[in-house]
Amino acid sequence: MKIGDVEYPSLKGKVSEAEWKTRVDLAALYRLIPLMGWWDLSQPPVSARVPGEPDHYLFNPLGFLFEEITASSLIKITLHGELAQETPLTFHPRIWYPMQAVHAARPDANFVLHSHDAVFAAMASRKDRLLPISQPAGFALASGIAYHDYDGVETYPERMPSLQESLGANGAAILKNHGLVALGRSAYEVFGKTNLIRQACKIQLLAGQAPDVSAINEEILPAFEAELRTGVAVDNLWPALLRKLDRIDPSYRD
């Protein structure tokens, strides 16, 4: 297989079925990010834990646009950022640190998505936090939103402990003056969660300053968590999203 001047082997049939499925799902996430308009040139990454291999993770290769990433081009590394496969491709070890921090702290973080999308960055620049003023916000807050004060560019190992402390048991963290990091047990969970939080942030930004908005009645808020438990945020749309990608460009499966 070749992208640009880089040749790399197809891994289909050479890894476990569970790993291949995770590779396809992660490659799909990379393709969906620009499709959803969440991509920027800084390319904040997405990562995944390899099923059945507790210390192994999948990460994006250096120098590929997200729309070029395939299941076989994803690089397998250890938690500490060491290569765990033979590959002609490279990755940026420093970009791994924020993902490493989340994977290390959270055994439920099978997928981690980091974003610098302008909507997240705008919300992260405000003094007010995400408020329960919309249905998407109700669901987003029910999954737990943490806040992490900006302490510099995150691509250094010394930044990891503070991010882990801020995240705690929450499903996502708004990184002040920066963006978002979200985690999920499945590809669709992290995708759906990111989309919900983005909708909630966008609605709040459009609604104006905190004194001008109308909040959902506090008595209703526990219902959002109950709805999440009973199946509102399930992966029933994931196969449909994969079919959409198949219609546009099925090469993510390669």
Q: How far is it, in rounded angstroms, from Cα 201 to Cα 142?
A: 15
Residue 232 is predicted with a pLDDT of 52
Superfamily of segment(s) 2-253: Class II aldolase/adducin N-terminal domain (3.40.225.10)
Tokens 């969906």 -> residue? 32
Whether the CA torsion 202, 197, 189, 62 is positive or negative: it is positive
Residue 210 is predicted with a pLDDT of 75
Residue 17 is predicted with a pLDDT of 97
**Contacts within 8 Å (CB) and 24+ apart, 214-219:** 214/133, 215/131, 215/132, 215/133, 216/132, 216/133, 216/134, 216/135, 216/137, 216/138
Beta bridge partners of 145: 172
Nearest to 11 by CA among 79, 92, 76: 76
Residue 230 is predicted with a pLDDT of 66
Q: Which tens digits make up the pLDDT trace of 157-209? A: 778 899 999 999 999 999 999 999 999 999 999 999 999 999 999 999 999 88
Q: Which tens digits make up the pLDDT trace of 229-248? A: 765 555 578 999 999 999 99
* Full-model pTM: 0.94
Domain ranges of the chain: 2-253
Residue 234 is predicted with a pLDDT of 53
- Residue spans of the chain under pLDDT 70: 230-235
Residue 168 is predicted with a pLDDT of 96
